[in-house]
Structure 1
Amino acid sequence: MPDRVRTTGAGRLATGTAWALLLLGLWLWGREATDVPPGVFAPTTGDMAAVGRPAAAELPPQAEPLPDASPQRLEIPGLGVRASVVAGSPDVRSAAGPPSCPQPSGSVTWHAAGTGPGAAGAAVLVGAADTGTGPAVFHRVGALRPGEQVRVARADGTVAEFTVDDVRVPARDHFDADQAYGPRRAGRAELRLVTCGDFDRADDGYPANVVVSAYLTGTGR
């Protein structure tokens, strides 16, 4: 009987040790999975499109702003977007709420009363997310993530190269025009890509907008 008791106690000890090691391993794995390494940007607050994505790489330094020039064409390589840019008015920043949808849906509207893409300040390009019958030019901009590239060909022959640093999805009834249209850092050349919904409906038919923020990081031709 005493030998049997000793054997049972040893078995319980071995089982307890195994459970302890398992729990320790799970705890260490959990810390490793949730910690963000230094120098890495995690998704920002309000970035609904970034949920579930891996953290973006460290972002490049900003470039010096360019002289003011009007945009002619927009390219988003990661989404396969190539669209002409047309001038629109009035300045979108004079509005208190989300932008109205431009037409035609295959192009992007630049609010020409504001900053030209690449110049100091925040240039605003608005594109439809939906035509009413199918996807439009900005249908997938919510899938962009920090570190991805946006290029704007300008009338002076230069190409302003921007890097995405923030993607937000504000509800239409809580749309902050100053945050969406205004510059985030003084003296920096910034770009906003803002979606509207179905341009065939007065209320756009969408409960939220997508606001992509990018900043100038290079220049090409």
Structure 2
Amino acid sequence: MQGSNGPGRRGAWGVVAVVLLIGVHLLRGGTDALRADGPPQPLAAAAPDTAGAVPAAVPDAAPGPLPASPPVRVRVPALRVDAPVARVGLDADGWIEAPPPRERALAGWFTGAVTPGERGTAVVVGHVDTPEGRGVFYDLGALAKGRQVEIARADGRTAVFTVYGIELVPKDGFPAARVYGSTGLPELRLITCGGPYAPDGGYAGNVVVSARLTAVRSR
């Protein structure tokens, strides 16, 4: 399943299969000083509706899917995040790569998924913390439903996504089919580490933000 299709061309179930094989052990490293208090964690009420209902936080009118174009920046205004986006794939051990450990202000777009704004589920990852301090997605767990995530694309468009779910999921037994499966619409997942931290095993879970394309504008 690795590398047979280029960026933006892997189907949703191809992404699911890869994640099921590699897990979501994606972000390691950090500082014990930061972990004494820990990053904010999502509230149970912020989790996405799993019953298939249209998310209340998402407007009824939404644009259609965009053509493929790689992301260049991710912005989360509510968290004051404005970061460049690099391409990440799989490392030598078969895990989703994270940005370099000392690049705490850099996010990574997983090239095994679609580009943000295409039909399907795009995936952007980032560190929660690094040896240098707080990572780009340190506050991700504090995000609220209805907030926006902006992805600036190489084609000059900005894809605007509205958040409809924030949840903490375990790395063991990660619900890949639910998180990565296509809804038939352009969606985005932001992912970082979360949950309890153990020095010998790292963070026990992942914070996952689910968002849907609701606007497109020229950069």
- TM-score bracket, normalised by the shorter chain, equals 0.5 to 0.7
The question of 1:67 aligning with 2:71 is answered: no
In structure 2, the partner of 1:83 is 83
Distance (whole Å) between structure 2 residues aligned to residue 170 and residue 108 of structure 1: 20
Give the match's secondary structure for 1:117.
coil
Give the match's secondary structure for 1:113.
coil
Distance (whole Å) between structure 1 residues aligned to residue 43 and residue 154 of structure 2: 33
Distance (whole Å) between structure 1 residues aligned to residue 143 and residue 167 of structure 2: 10
Distance (whole Å) between structure 2 residues aligned to residue 180 and residue 105 of structure 1: 24
The question of 1:214 aligning with 2:211 is answered: yes
The question of 1:142 aligning with 2:141 is answered: yes
Highest relative contact order (Cα 8 Å, sep 6+), 1 or 2? 2
1:118 and 1:134, CA in 2 relative to 1: closer, same or farther beyond 3 A?
Answer: same
Amino acid aligned to 1:109:
G
Distance (whole Å) between structure 2 residues aligned to residue 179 and residue 113 of structure 1: 17
What does the per-residue CA deviation read over 1:78-102, in whole Å, with 9 as the maximum and x for residues that have no partner?
A: 00000000011139xxx7xx84532
Structure 1 segments of 4+ aligned residues over 6 angstroms from their partners? 201-204
Q: After TM superposition, give the deviation of residue 208 of structure 1 in Å.
A: 1.2
Q: After TM superposition, give the deviation of residue 132 of structure 1 in Å.
A: 3.5
Trace 1:1-221 onto structure 2 (pairs within 5 A): 49-51=42-44, 58-61=57-60, 62-90=62-90, 99-103=96-100, 104-183=103-182, 185-186=183-184, 188-196=185-193, 205-221=202-218
Tell me which protein shows more strand as a share of its residues: 2
1:215 and 1:52, CA in 2 relative to 1: closer, same or farther beyond 3 A?
Answer: closer
Distance (whole Å) between structure 2 residues aligned to residue 165 and residue 137 of structure 1: 20
Report how many aligned residue pairs link the two structures.
162
Distance (whole Å) between structure 2 residues aligned to residue 202 and residue 115 of structure 1: 34
What does the per-residue CA deviation read over 1:134-154, in whole Å, with 9 as the maximum and x for residues that have no partner?
A: 210011111111100000000
What does the per-residue CA deviation read over 1:151-210, in whole Å, with 9 as the maximum and x for residues that have no partner?
A: 000000000000001111012223122222222x12x0000001137xxx9977111110
Q: Answer yes or no: is the 8 Å Cα contact 2:58–2:212 preserved in 1.
A: no
Distance (whole Å) between structure 1 residues aligned to residue 104 and residue 201 of structure 2: 13
Q: Answer yes or no: is the 8 Å Cα contact 1:190–1:216 preserved in 2.
A: yes
Distance (whole Å) between structure 2 residues aligned to residue 169 and residue 220 of structure 1: 31
Distance (whole Å) between structure 1 residues aligned to residue 115 and residue 77 of structure 2: 21
Aligned CA RMSD, in angstroms, stands at 2.7
Give the match's secondary structure for 2:177.
helix
Distance (whole Å) between structure 2 residues aligned to residue 169 and residue 148 of structure 1: 18
Larger radius of gyration: 1
Amino acid aligned to 1:210:
V
Unmatched tracts of structure 1, length 5 or more: 1-47
Distance (whole Å) between structure 1 residues aligned to residue 129 and residue 57 of structure 2: 32
Q: After TM superposition, give the deviation of residue 75 of structure 1 in Å.
A: 0.3
Q: Select between 125-134 and 151-160 the one with higher mean Cα deviation.
A: 125-134
| TM-score computed with the length of structure 1 as normaliser | 0.66
In structure 2, the partner of 1:23 is none
| TM-score computed with the length of structure 2 as normaliser | 0.66
Tell me which protein shows more helix as a share of its residues: 1
Q: After TM superposition, give the deviation of residue 114 of structure 1 in Å.
A: 1.7
